[in-house]
Amino acid sequence: MLSVSTAIVVIAVPGLVIGLAVGLRGWVLAGPAPLLSYAIGGLTGPWTAALGLPFNPLTYALSTVVFAAVAFGVRKLAVHRRPPEPEPGLWARSGHFAVVACLLVAAATGLSAALLGMGTLGALPQGFDAVYHGNAVRYIADTGDGGLFGTGHVNWYGDAAPVFYPNAYHLLASVTHRLSGASIPETLDANTVLLPGLLALSLVTLVRQFRGRAVLAGAVALTAVAPVMGVYESMDRGPLLPFALGVALTPLGAVALHRYLERAALDTGFVLVLAAVGLLCVHSSTLFGGILFAGPLLVQRWLTGWRRIGRDLLALLPIALVSLVVAWLQLSGALGLARGAVPYYGWPSEYRASTALGALLGFQHFEPHPQVWLSVALFLGIVFFARAGALRWIGLTAAVTGLAYIAVASSNAPIVMALSRPWWDDPYRFFSMAAIPLSVLAAHGLASTQAWLRDRLPARIPAAAVAVVVLLGFAGLSNGLYVRSNGARVYTGYQAADPAKLRTTPGEVAAMEKLGELAAPGEWAMNDRFDGTAWTYALSGIRTVAGHFDETLPPADARLLADRFRDYESDPGVRAAVRRLNIHWVILGKPSTEPGKPYQAGLIGLAGEPFLKEAFHNPDAVIYRLVG
């Protein structure tokens, strides 16, 4: 578990340092720390690339010191101008301990569900998106290129149009990889198993900021890690790792926004800027998701005091301007991607609107069974909604994100596809976003049930005992917060009953690792785009012609070789492309079983060709040395 421990340090410590310097304490220090760390890394990587400097653990540490110095100065200046008032007490010490206990249980449950699905840390994620993230982490660790277009160079090199991708996730993962020495798959997995715990911590911080009871905070930690569509579906499908991370951190945007509006000052503004920029650096859609999540907060605030509208908008104007300047590289890259040549098709609708509504209320996407006890808790949350107090706005957030999911899941109308473009019109992503406020409402149902029972039971029964019974009852009835069924959902993204039927088989992995032993530094390998060998760079450090399963807008040399590589001896154009890319090897895995995607034409029938000499083979893969 060294990789997990290292990931925790990399994700938490820089943010804690910045938070302490800017005056954060307690839960509002612990909760936002990961988001602040991703903001630091996500800004430092592109800035160092622009200056011609490498991104590595040292520059990450130095940038933390610089940000901490700025945060400390901002805090001193803010306190001098407008000293903050002491925050009134809220939870007793026992309440804090109880919430910590619930949070630890939630984090352990989420980690267990992820590990049940993976089988072991270091399991190779099998989805379409995973290979990009693995190669991206390796690329940053090897080259130090923290630029926003750098990670795409593994697949879109040469004359291919550069591809923008927000890279805060990959930047911090590259630091974890270098410090721990873990393999790239283990590095990815170490970050993935932390996602449920990060989501639970974010929601506990949200409840604390809005002065919810400790029972509610404990309940929300448990309900955060129970829904299958919260983060577990994103582990299985894709996996959508930066998006899932963004979902886990999204509630912290509302925390920073509320703190700033309650006391608009330089220090709270500094935190809000870093929170907004951090969400953007993790994934472009996360900032939009944060706006959807926190927008209803402004609605409730303004409905209860309409005179605040002008003051709040005026206070938010400098935040928007500073964020625009600080994150200009990310914003310009995102705008360029939207206007660029990368096609946008969206995803097909999956349900009728009524079926999509039922899926939301049943916490059931394509799983065989609904998560009934979450539905019961949600029903109680709706019944007791009037008791939600300062968190009533979360009901509107649930309605907005829920309706957005229903629209995307049931319609391919142009207006729906246009509005959902930041999320690629993907029902899975909208379902995941809707799960977060629904989890809060479910937790409110549990906490309100505890309060209802407390008020009606004899006074000699402690309120804490009632809380324990309610929360333990929920955990028990839900079979340990649905840990096994959630693990089963993750399983399909990492394992199979017959490993030979995986998209990237153990035999292919062995061949890719062997190529790392055979090839000299700087030598490339020709490979097929649709077998498992797109993982070669991540696993061995050897570059391949196809660095992703994605066939969109490939380089000219990649297209030429995919079509005509077998004509190496007779085609001068093929030989020239081989020289340009310094290709010395060929690696082929099991042909893809997807319809229409066997080996690419130029790689069919290579066995026995005189310009190739077999160097390694196993039942799933073969390696040739180019000798012609």
pLDDT tens-digit map of 172-181: 999 999 999 9
The C-alpha atoms of residue 93 and residue 126 are separated, in whole angstroms, by 45
pLDDT over threshold 90, residue 628: no
Sheet holding 524-527, edge to edge: 524-527, 583-588, 621-626, 612-618
| Tokens coding 251 | 């509630």
For residues 231 and 199, the answer to whether their CB atoms sit within 8 Å is: yes
Which residues face 618 on adjacent strands? 621
Nearest to 399 by CA among 385, 413, 412, 387: 385
pLDDT over threshold 90, residue 89: no
pLDDT score, position 441: 98
User: According to DSSP H, which parts of 263-347 are helical?
Assistant: 266-282, 284-303, 308-326, 328-339
Average pLDDT over residues 532-544: 97
pLDDT score, position 519: 97
Give the amino acid at 410: S
The C-alpha atoms of residue 437 and residue 382 are separated, in whole angstroms, by 12
pLDDT score, position 84: 83
Average pLDDT over residues 125-146: 97
Can the peptide bond before residue 57 be classed as cis, meaning omega within 30 degrees of 0?
no
Q: If you average pLDDT over every residue of the chain, what do you get? A: 95
For residues 511 and 620, the answer to whether their CB atoms sit within 8 Å is: yes
Q: What is the DSSP letter of 584?
A: E
Q: What is the pLDDT of residues 264-302, one digit of tens each?
A: 999 999 999 999 999 999 999 999 999 999 999 999 999
pLDDT score, position 435: 97
The C-alpha atoms of residue 217 and residue 417 are separated, in whole angstroms, by 36
pLDDT over threshold 80, residue 340: no
| Cα–Cα distances in angstroms (integers) from residue 13 to residues 23, 31, 479, in the given order | 15, 12, 34
pLDDT score, position 346: 84
SS3 544: strand
Instruction: Tell whether pTM > 0.85.
Output: yes
Q: What is the pLDDT of residues 11-48, one digit of tens each?
A: 999 999 999 999 999 999 999 999 999 999 999 999 99
Give the amino acid at 398: A
Conformation bin of residue 376: beta by default, left when phi > 0, alpha when psi is -120 to 50: alpha
What's the chain's Rg over C-alpha atoms? 25
Q: What is the pLDDT of residues 363-401, one digit of tens each?
A: 999 888 999 999 999 999 999 999 999 999 999 999 999
Average pLDDT over residues 346-360: 91
For residues 456 and 203, the answer to whether their CB atoms sit within 8 Å is: no
pLDDT score, position 596: 65
pLDDT score, position 314: 96
Nearest to 338 by CA among 420, 421, 404: 421
Give percent of the chain above pLDDT 70. Answer: 100
Q: Assign 430 a pLDDT band (cuts: 50, 70, 90).
A: very high
pLDDT over threshold 90, residue 344: no
pLDDT over threshold 90, residue 83: no
Give percent of the chain above pLDDT 90. Answer: 92
pLDDT over threshold 70, residue 168: yes
Direct distance between the N- and C-terminal alpha carbons of the chain, in angstroms, rounded to an integer: 46
Give the amino acid at 129: D
Sequence-distant contacts of 9-12: CB under 8 A, at least 24 apart: 9/179, 10/37, 10/60, 10/172, 10/175, 10/176, 10/179, 11/37, 11/38, 11/172, 11/191, 11/194, 11/198, 12/37
For residues 148 and 333, the answer to whether their CB atoms sit within 8 Å is: yes
Length of the chain: 628
